[in-house]
Structure 1
């Protein structure tokens, strides 16, 4: 559990609490002024989008023109359309990045708000028989959510209802958050930036308005349309007149043409072992019988179309489970309260597929594909094992799953090796999307699409034993409501390549590497290659400063591995494009060295290209920037302000060009270590990114 933050000194502010059961560390980021005014968040300019093949259909990727993200991100079979580009009788929510708002958590930082009787209408850009709608409904007055269906019609007919609920959204307060909008502070002695104080050290104690820090505001739901509609057909999403919901916010619509259900003829069919595809009876025992039989006869298990009720973990080892496709085969369960806490601290269980514990040798040769797991997790309890996939898997694969409403989509505790996680969709998690924890080696995370995680989208956490030789490639991570889209905490020989990340909200950003949470040191190499961030460079709540679209943090030890950032694009960064930072308590002990940036493009920063708040060095070669809102290099070093200059050295390796409001981003007068420190520079909202 997180430790309470330390009291601030005149030149420090406490660090954020740990998440996902990570050990908390009290401390402070290197800042010069704690009690100053808060940073104004820039509102984004309208994002460009591409007209689709059908007239009026505006297609985006991560809320931006797909041409600007070509070749990067998950290769998916659906097309994204933002509601703010569609026809509507509702109100377009003004673009904004201020945390705790519908705009900040929306894809593209804008959505459409409907009153009862209003609609938003999308023009299909291609043939489709299935849609996913991302929406928000208000919470119940006392928490717990409400359910209020949305009407879906195509071309003014073929009416269907989309089940919509806010039971899985709306968290409040401080970590690990509350479902009660009227609750007082969970940690009254923690630093509160909203009042610029430490409550326990303040007389009288500050009052905090409720609901305090509302977040995790959106949810999504999928719907098969029953037939194939053509490009140009009109899909209307409406909040019915008379709805018990006073409003609904529609963020986006994904449309796709789903293939017919997959049939696996030479397999053990779970129906033959008594599984109920209607979802009325619990099918856990029947599926486990099928797993045992399949292992005995060396055949896969087939999960045909249907909804199978599963309210506990299913143990899997040396077995293949194949569904009819994630739109057709669903394992769905309700969260169950245990009679007594489990040895691991869990107080609940729920639907999930789990490998054996690594201490027992883990599971091997497990292959999961083609089904959905629908959980029932509505609160964050870090000791609970209520993840969609957990345990340890070696020589295994997880492919083509849809994971929804669990705590973490895939949380794996090693040591384990040779796992491929490919082509999955993970949405609406209370915590992380995918986490490789402790000694995961020689494995790949590729072509996964993640949206609306409540913590890091994809994380490598080398606690106790280093993760090694991991590749995170061609994934899309959108709208993590807390922490980072992709984060690497220690490890050896890591590659993060060709990913697309967008719209991190707070206390994290797009791409991150940190010596944090007790992780083993970085060793060998860490390569960030050909990634694109969009509207990243987010706000750090507890430090009260803006981060970088990519940022490096020193806390537990030096970061001095071979770190190369090559070919990345940082688009429309709310604050900085790049940040190098140390916690205040270790700023004179640890450093961040050997950073190398090459062939990087930066289009739009609210503040600087580089913000340096640490001792160390970085080299830049062929880094091109435009629409930079503040001084190109904001170099504070370790805030000693010595006559010798900053403790952070910037090396110009040639070919760097461009800049913004203050001239060239990398000017001779800034080199090699001129102090250019502005603790919280004003934010200048950049124009929308465009083609180079």
Structure 2
């Protein structure tokens, strides 16, 4: 990008570098790559199209209204100085304040005034402003060629005093797909493609008609080109719901108050496609494909089921969707089995991107993009609720998250696994986590089951991970293992992975102070790993247990020793995490031996460079 004005957001806040640039509650920390362009009224930013394109997605931030609730503004879009179009912007679904589960009011006081906070944290309002960014899509008037110049201009009369442009995706969108043969269109039952009338009942009627006409396994419901307003969950079971493409078939709708709370405590409903809940038998043989679900959720209420996709969907496929502005993109309450989630984009969520909760087997989530989630972007949560002593019914077992791209989870982790057995996280890219989590995580916490069998982290890449944990005032590993509610004793594997430009330490095991002498982390194997840049250490241990490290190459490490405080018992036998350094470790990252430094000062590493091949 190039801009007519200074091309960073230093004009909005002080110039930031290194770990300061990644400090939570700043526009830089939530920007992809920790950098963006601030535009004042009358200024513009340009980029050259690398490929032919007829559509753009702009990730941006504009101010909140003084009393909360957001404002609207706009950008003018031109190509080669012509073809002007208007891109509408809003901060209505951005900006949260104070502490969990957050407030929409910039003047809000602490929701939990008794919680500990870092002593240097400013008490000035707004308290802890976060979730600053949103994105907007725009279909252009025609196909533009590679080499054409795209310009985004803030009009001189724009409502927003400043507009921060973080990134621009451009793509070549296909024409709307045709209706599949035999499919039942929702417009046949009165659905309004203009979005003025409520189309919820039309979805219900089309689904019922298709199932009655076609029989089990063959029912297909068609969402044609248009924008359809839906005000509550559409229940799906043994049916395919397909659209003309996620740019063309859009299902949207407001948060709708319920006349009385649902049995699960929900006081509100919203647009979404839900299988039956597992306790009601679940749903199966569902396909949701090739349309967009765009909600209007502006706050996080954990008792509300205002997710884009929910319930329990077994033997099912979710693919080709664009999901925006719901509480959770995909929340699956199990037990359930054999679910595929692929080629889907989940953005601007108040909480999780994808969470498979309790007793899921055979889930495969692949080739998805998650951006700007308000909790873990992807999670396997083996929530222990059955009371079964063996806990097997609650374990997520044999699931795979692979080849996903995750950007800027504002809270918590890129990918998190809470308990379970024989699960795999492989070939993912996770960049720029912001606070209270990091890129990759395994935790015995949140009421999870234990870990059993193996948990494999394979061929993953993290970029600018390893955040500062504000509640502990320490750095967290780019990948971290946390024993909070039980001892972690399974086959934990971290193999053939790259940790780039880590803010603090690359690999960490930790336990809470209150249980540090009870719970630790055993049997972590680290092999064939590369670390290029770490603000503090490669390995950081704040729990007892065991780890084996082989073929770990590291460079540009802030403190060249293994930071092994264990559980701070300091027995005469040595550090409490038993670290076995096997063959092939290189880079001098352990040259100073083993030490315990409770809070080492991070050293900003240089930018990563290509590894030379032997």
| TM-score where L is the length of structure 1 | 0.84
1:473 equivalent in structure 2: 402
1:312 aligns with 2:232: yes
1:249 equivalent in structure 2: 164
- Is contact 1:90–1:119 with CA below 8 Å preserved after alignment? no
Q: Which of these residues, 219, 226, 248, is aligned with residue 134 of structure 2?
A: 219
1:282 aligns with 2:198: yes
Q: Which of these residues, 378, 388, 401, is aligned with residue 458 of structure 1?
A: 378
1:653 aligns with 2:579: no
1:114 equivalent in structure 2: 39
1:549 aligns with 2:478: yes
C-alpha distance in 2 between matches for 1:377 and 1:88: 35
Q: CA deviation at 1:642?
A: 2.6
1:21 equivalent in structure 2: none
C-alpha distance in 1 between matches for 2:531 and 2:583: 16
Q: CA deviation at 1:649?
A: 1.1
Higher RCO, 1 vs 2 (CA within 8 Å, ≥6 residues apart) = 1
1:688 aligns with 2:607: yes
1:240 aligns with 2:160: no
C-alpha distance in 2 between matches for 1:645 and 1:370: 57
Q: CA deviation at 1:264?
A: 2.4
- Is contact 2:83–2:141 with CA below 8 Å preserved after alignment? no
How does 1:184-583 map onto structure 2 within 5 Å?
184-195=109-120, 208-266=123-181, 267-298=183-214, 299-464=219-384, 465-583=394-512
C-alpha distance in 1 between matches for 2:204 and 2:459: 43
Q: CA deviation at 1:194?
A: 4.0
Q: CA deviation at 1:586?
A: 1.1
- Paired residue total: 588
Q: CA deviation at 1:195?
A: 4.3
C-alpha distance in 2 between matches for 1:88 and 1:292: 56
C-alpha distance in 1 between matches for 2:123 and 2:424: 43
Q: CA deviation at 1:231?
A: 0.6
C-alpha distance in 2 between matches for 1:334 and 1:359: 28
2:96 equivalent in structure 1: 171
Superposed CA deviations along residues 49-83 of structure 1, whole A, max 9, x for unmatched, are xxxxxxxxxxxxxxxxxxxxxxxxxxxxxxxxxxx
C-alpha distance in 1 between matches for 2:115 and 2:307: 29
Partner secondary structure for residue 148 of structure 1: strand
2:559 equivalent in structure 1: 630
| TM-score where L is the length of structure 2 | 0.94
Partner secondary structure for residue 600 of structure 1: strand
1:155 equivalent in structure 2: 80
1:9 equivalent in structure 2: none
Partner secondary structure for residue 595 of structure 1: strand
2:387 equivalent in structure 1: none
Superposed CA deviations along residues 179-228 of structure 1, whole A, max 9, x for unmatched, are 011111111111111448xxxxxxxxxx8210000000000000000210
C-alpha distance in 2 between matches for 1:341 and 1:296: 31
Superposed CA deviations along residues 350-403 of structure 1, whole A, max 9, x for unmatched, are 100000010011000000000000001000100000000000000000001000
Superposed CA deviations along residues 479-526 of structure 1, whole A, max 9, x for unmatched, are 000000000000010000000000000000000000001101111110
Gaps of 5+ in 2: 10-14, 385-393
Q: Which of these residues, 46, 65, 69, is aligned with residue 144 of structure 1?
A: 69
C-alpha distance in 1 between matches for 2:565 and 2:86: 55
Q: Which of these residues, 580, 584, 588, is aligned with residue 513 of structure 2?
A: 584
C-alpha distance in 2 between matches for 1:390 and 1:335: 16
C-alpha distance in 1 between matches for 2:120 and 2:607: 33
C-alpha distance in 2 between matches for 1:265 and 1:253: 33
Q: CA deviation at 1:90?
A: 4.7
C-alpha distance in 2 between matches for 1:360 and 1:111: 48
2:388 equivalent in structure 1: none
- Is contact 1:90–1:118 with CA below 8 Å preserved after alignment? no
- Is contact 1:90–1:115 with CA below 8 Å preserved after alignment? no
Partner secondary structure for residue 149 of structure 1: strand
C-alpha distance in 2 between matches for 1:640 and 1:439: 37
- Is contact 1:440–1:467 with CA below 8 Å preserved after alignment? yes
Superposed CA deviations along residues 443-498 of structure 1, whole A, max 9, x for unmatched, are 10111100000000000100120000000000011000000000000001000000
Superposed CA deviations along residues 116-141 of structure 1, whole A, max 9, x for unmatched, are 00011111000000000000000000
C-alpha distance in 1 between matches for 2:109 and 2:175: 51
Q: CA deviation at 1:645?
A: 1.6
C-alpha distance in 2 between matches for 1:125 and 1:536: 28
Q: What do you get for the CA RMSD once the two structures are aligned?
A: 1.1
Q: CA deviation at 1:106?
A: 0.1
Q: CA deviation at 1:244?
A: 1.6
- Is contact 2:405–2:429 with CA below 8 Å preserved after alignment? yes
C-alpha distance in 2 between matches for 1:463 and 1:379: 24
